Amino acid sequence: MSRLATWGNELYAGKKSYPFVQKWKTWFTVALILLAIAGGITALRGGFNMGIDFRGGSEFTVSGVENTDPVLGEEAVSEVIPETEATATNIAGGTIRVQTTELSDEQTLEVAENLQQGYNVTAEQVTSNFVGPTWGQAVSQQMFVGLIVFLVLVALYLTIYFRTWKMSAAAIVGLLYVVILTVGIYGAIGFEVTPPAIIGFLLILSYSLYDTVVVFDKIRENTQNLAEDRQRTFDELVNLAVNQTLVRSITTSIVGILPVGSILFIGAGLLGAGTLRDISLSIFVGIIVGTIATLFIQAPLYALFRRNDDDITDRDERILRRRGYETDQETENDAETATSQ
């Protein structure tokens, strides 16, 4: 803990610094490469692994089960249609849900009988129904509407709060990157896209936005009195703010990941709760991506937006000229000292 505190103090005082802003070309290139890799792998896999709510299919629910092994449900389907892939999930205590492609009436009856035998239950404990893709499509449409409304409101709020549209624009670009890359990772790994996962994609925006506001607020604090600071350029002040909030950003992300990870690995992994797994998985990935985006994309992008402002350009040039003059003076003094000796 003492090392972490020392590291944080050195970052805050500017004694230690990481070039988040200065190496913006490297970070942006890596960000684009990650998007390309995620998109390319998703395309090679044949697109996203859409859940039954989006593609439609047959669904079975087995209640009052003592043995909640999902393999029994998957085998019940494969015995009827070997080439069909089924997904069995423990959705509650003693309840199994089995999802597969659309089955005929005869196939549905055979699968239901297999489920009765596999889980040792009665016919009344096994129900089946067809799930159409329209509900999932409606959720997707609502998600896009919600995303647009959210981004518009965030843009307006940040513009008013920070009093500059450039900071708002940098934040929006970062938020979009978080969503796109998270969705891309989902597609590349082959995670199933379900309505709870869609909700998770929207929830990660709040985590990412919180971290963004913390960093940007420190940037505003460092740059609001530029006339008083004649030692650092604008890029250096922005980079200082990112370093000063680095420990807080990492700590906030870890604190956010821990409960989500508990839900994901304990609640969903051991108990088999499908909805918890889907929503926590998207949030888990999104928090990590959001933290990276704030540090390596949003802050450098804001500095890039302001770099060509006349007041910023003139101020930075004066600081750099002063540094050059001071460096020349030090060189001359060193040379005179060496000559006199």
The mean pLDDT of the chain is 83
Which spans in the chain are helix H?
2-13, 24-44, 52-55, 70-78, 105-119, 134-162, 165-189, 195-223, 234-244, 246-262, 269-271, 274-293, 299-306, 310-340
* Alpha carbons 219 and 184: distance in angstroms, whole number: 30
Give the pLDDT score at 326: 55
* Alpha carbons 175 and 171: distance in angstroms, whole number: 6
pLDDT, tens only, 17-69: 889 999 999 999 999 999 999 999 999 988 888 877 787 888 898 988 888 78
Packing angle of the helix pair 299-306, 165-189 (nearest 10 deg): 140
Give the pLDDT score at 1: 55
Low-confidence residues of the chain: pLDDT under 50: 328, 332, 334-336, 338
Q: Which residues contact 66 (CB under 8 A, 6 or more apart)?
A: 94, 119, 120
Between CA 209 and CA 255, with CA 257 as vertex, the angle to 5 degrees is 80
Which of 108, 109, 90 minimizes the C-alpha distance to 100?
A: 108
- Expressed in angstroms, the distance from the first to the final Cα of the chain is 49
* Alpha carbons 255 and 296: distance in angstroms, whole number: 20
Structure tokens at 98: 């089995």
* Alpha carbons 87 and 77: distance in angstroms, whole number: 9
Question: Environment class of residue 66 by beta-carbon count within 10 Å: exposed (0-12), middle (13-18) or buried (19+)?
Answer: exposed
The answer to whether the beta carbons of residues 187 and 37 sit under 8 Å apart is no
- Domains by residue range for the chain, with CATH: 57-131 (3.30.70.3400), 135-320 (1.20.1640.10)
- Number of other residues whose CB lies within 10 A of the CB of residue 130: 12
* Alpha carbons 70 and 57: distance in angstroms, whole number: 18
Give the pLDDT score at 23: 92
Structure tokens at 10: 């050195």
Compute the chain's Rg from CA coordinates. 27
Distances (CA, A) of 103 to 81, 91, 95, 114, 125: 9, 22, 21, 14, 19
pTM: 0.79
* Torsion angle in degrees (nearest 10) through CA of 320, 323, 327, 330: 170
* Alpha carbons 212 and 174: distance in angstroms, whole number: 9
* Alpha carbons 139 and 53: distance in angstroms, whole number: 9
* Alpha carbons 27 and 40: distance in angstroms, whole number: 20
